[in-house]
Structure 1
Amino acid sequence: MTVFTFAVEEEQHLERIDTFITAQNEEWSRSQVQIWLKEDFVLVNGEKVKRNYKVKQGDEISVSVPDPKPLEIIAENIPLEIYYEDSDVIVVNKPRGMVVHPALGHETGTLVNALMYHCKDLSGINGILRPGIVHRIDKDTSGLLMVAKNDVAHEKLAEQLREKTTVRKYIAIVHGVIQHEEGTIDAPIGRDKSDRQSMTVTEENAKEAVTHFKVLERFEEFTLVECQLETGRTHQIRVHMKYIGFPLAGDPKYGPRKTIDIDGQALHAAVLGFKHPRTGEYMEFSSPIPKVMEDVLENLRR
Structure 2
Amino acid sequence: MFMHKKPRNHKVPAYSQTRPKSTPPLNKPHSSKNVKQFTVTEPSELLTFLLQALSGTGRNSIKSMLARGQISVNNKSVTLYNHQLNPGNIVSISTEKMVESAPLLGLHILHEDEDLIVIHKDHGLLSIASDKETEVTAYRQLTDYVKSKNPSNRIYVVHRLDRDTSGVMLFAKSEEVKHRLQETWKETVEERSYVALVEGLVHKTEGTITSWLKESKTLKMFSSPYPNDGQHAVTHYKRLQYNKQYTLLEVHLETGRKNQIRVHMQDIGHPISGDKKYGAKTKELGRLGLHARILSFTHPTTGKLMRFDTDIPKIFLRPFRTTP
TM-score tier after normalising by the smaller chain length: 0.5 to 0.7
What are the within-5 Å matches in structure 2 for residues 213-228 of structure 1? 213-228=237-252
1: CA distance between counterparts of 2:235 and 2:187?
A: 15
Structure 2 counterpart SS, 1:93: strand
1:296/1:113 CA distance change after superposition, 3 Å: farther
Decide whether the 8 Å contact of 2:188 with 2:297 is kept in 1: no
Of 135, 141, 165, the match for 1:108:
135
* Greater displacement, 81-90 / 161-170: 161-170
Instruction: Say whether 1:231 aligns with 2:255.
Output: yes
TM-fit CA distance, 1:176: 1.5
1:250 corresponds in structure 2 to: 274
What are the within-5 Å matches in structure 2 for residues 109-128 of structure 1? 109-120=136-147
What are the within-5 Å matches in structure 2 for residues 201-216 of structure 1? 201-202=223-224, 203=226, 205-216=229-240
* Greater displacement, 147-156 / 224-233: 147-156
Of 260, 271, 282, the match for 1:259:
282
TM-fit CA distance, 1:151: 2.0
TM-fit CA distance, 1:270: 0.2
Decide whether the 8 Å contact of 1:78 with 1:109 is kept in 2: no
1:137/1:150 CA distance change after superposition, 3 Å: same
2: CA distance between counterparts of 1:106 and 1:99?
A: 11
1:274 corresponds in structure 2 to: 297
TM-fit CA distance, 1:113: 1.5
Decide whether the 8 Å contact of 1:211 with 1:240 is kept in 2: yes
1: CA distance between counterparts of 2:104 and 2:312?
A: 21
| Structure label with greater radius of gyration | 2
Query: Which whole-Å deviations, capped at 9, do the CAs of 1:226-266 have from their partners, x for residues lacking one?
Result: 1111111111000001001111011121133x302434320
TM-fit CA distance, 1:106: 4.2
1: CA distance between counterparts of 2:191 and 2:313?
A: 20
Decide whether the 8 Å contact of 2:124 with 2:164 is kept in 1: yes
1:104/1:230 CA distance change after superposition, 3 Å: same
Instruction: Say whether 1:144 aligns with 2:171.
Output: no
Of 186, 192, 206, the match for 1:182:
206
Using CA pairs below 8 Å that are at least 6 residues apart, which structure has the higher relative contact order? 1
TM-fit CA distance, 1:297: 4.5
1:191 corresponds in structure 2 to: 215
What are the within-5 Å matches in structure 2 for residues 45-60 of structure 1? none
Q: Which amino acid counterpart does residue 103 of structure 1 have in structure 2? A: S
Q: Which amino acid counterpart does residue 184 of structure 1 have in structure 2? A: T
1:283 corresponds in structure 2 to: 306
Structure 1 counterpart SS, 2:163: coil
Decide whether the 8 Å contact of 1:164 with 1:231 is kept in 2: no
Structure 1 counterpart SS, 2:273: coil
Decide whether the 8 Å contact of 2:201 with 2:245 is kept in 1: yes
Decide whether the 8 Å contact of 1:164 with 1:230 is kept in 2: no
TM-fit CA distance, 1:197: 2.3
What are the within-5 Å matches in structure 2 for residues 24-39 of structure 1? none
Query: Which whole-Å deviations, capped at 9, do the CAs of 1:141-166 have from their partners, x for residues lacking one?
Result: 00001111112221222133244744
For structure 1, which runs of at least 5 residues remain unmatched after alignment? Answer: 1-74, 122-127
1:104/1:205 CA distance change after superposition, 3 Å: farther
TM-fit CA distance, 1:268: 0.1
Length-normalised TM-score, structure 2: 0.61
Instruction: Give the aligned CA root-mean-square deviation in angstroms.
Output: 2.4
Structure 2 counterpart SS, 1:170: strand
1:167 corresponds in structure 2 to: 191
2:119 corresponds in structure 1 to: 92
Identity of aligned residues (%): 37
Length-normalised TM-score, structure 1: 0.66
Decide whether the 8 Å contact of 1:134 with 1:146 is kept in 2: yes
